[in-house]
Structure 1
């Protein structure tokens, strides 16, 4: 017997629900910031469609917990449960990073630590690196993940007599120095990153193992950095 899937999807079950109460719950949880235009039942019991203009999200019957762009969010506290779980899954022990393949840059005592996977042509990488390089007490483990076009400059910096200085000039001033032509760890870094789902730059790791994808706000980055110290 063939099942009329289209018909089943077109007519969601009529679960008993107070749509007005759900709408009020969304408004209460968001302090009135989100005012639903329409609330409808879905094919999943206790999950409701909320339309705001032409945008959709899905909430529970209280209107507080929502699926927003695939993430489960507490609309009242703004906690993103999905992101928190993803951060937990992707966290790594700092000591398990391939530090032997990093370009180590030390400023001052270097007691605060951060690992930075970056591409010389990535504008956001450059901004993050400049911010970190300006700190007076930090150790930066820079991991090159160049594109095809930026690889020659990355290899030149790697092969320079003072690798840390050459990489810093490349990331902060766009100056490529060094002749290249030596054996590098760039492919090893790329392979390690790909195996762990690092598909974009910048990607940062801190001493507690936490990972940040993309360029964080400078204030947030400084807050993370201030607590990123390795145990002795």
Structure 2
């Protein structure tokens, strides 16, 4: 799977600005998109190119990462644009917006469902059973109440991840088997010989949604939270998305 791009030779800048974010395209962007893609080659796929809040600087959306370039694609800029007045990270906000999904359309039947409290707040997680950060997120979830968590088993790290995912999916109580392994290191014991087509579907779905790392969290309003976010932020984001 593709990782965030790292380029050895480039002009690196982190811009701090006071301007609002504008995403209006102009006639330059189509040519610029092709030029940037040519520069990057197979390292990344350019989803779109739009104007950034800074004159002469263009936003390049790579799906799971936003970088910036000049009007001639001679320079690639890695870094976040931050509003100096509000301290809002405009790059993060744009990435979240461009990666927003239709949460209700997710195939929840292919996920392990865990309900805590009244379950009124909802989130989906793409998770690998051998991912240490996924286990960290599961530990964080112990302190989060009134939430329904749909975990899409997403074995991408190793063949053993697939073995464990199939065993968990084939367990008589999938939620119990998942939490026992992720929180208490109790390995699943089911044979893993049931119908595990859901796992293959999860892998295809994740690739289509640019899920290139685990855990990846999706909130009920469609926003994406990459990584094992801390409890205070997760609780706040769940409240805002509810």
> TM-score scaled by structure 1?
0.66
- Choose the corresponding residue for 1:206, options 219, 226, 233: 219
Match of 1:187 in 2: 200
CA contact (8 A) 1:112 1:227 kept: no
Q: CA RMSD in A?
A: 2.6
How far residue 217 of structure 1 moved from its aligned partner, in angstroms, is 2.2
Match of 1:176 in 2: 187
How many corresponding residue pairs?
171
Distance 1:200 1:104 in 2: 21
- Choose the corresponding residue for 2:107, options 79, 84, 98: 98
Q: Is 1:124 aligned to residue 136 of structure 2?
A: no
Distance 1:216 1:134 in 2: 13
Match of 1:196 in 2: 209
Distance 1:217 1:77 in 2: 22
Gaps of 5+ in 1: 1-25, 30-45, 49-57, 59-66
Output one character per residue of 1:87-112: Cα deviation in whole Å (capped at 9) or x when no partner: 11111121011212111111221111
Structure 1 residues 136 and 87: CA distance shift in structure 2, 3 A: closer
Pairs within 5 Å for 1:50-65: none
Structure 1 residues 208 and 162: CA distance shift in structure 2, 3 A: same
How far residue 128 of structure 1 moved from its aligned partner, in angstroms, is 0.9
Q: Tell me which of the two structures has the higher relative contact order, counting C-alpha pairs closer than 8 angstroms and 6 or more residues apart.
A: 2
Distance 1:97 1:181 in 2: 25
CA contact (8 A) 2:144 2:231 kept: no
> TM-score scaled by structure 2?
0.63
Q: Structure 1 stretches (4+) deviating beyond 4 angstroms?
A: none
Q: Is 1:219 aligned to residue 228 of structure 2?
A: no
Pairs within 5 Å for 1:152-171: 152-171=163-182
Distance 2:56 2:105 in 1: 41
Gaps of 5+ in 2: 1-15, 19-54, 58-67, 69-75
Structure 1 residues 93 and 173: CA distance shift in structure 2, 3 A: same
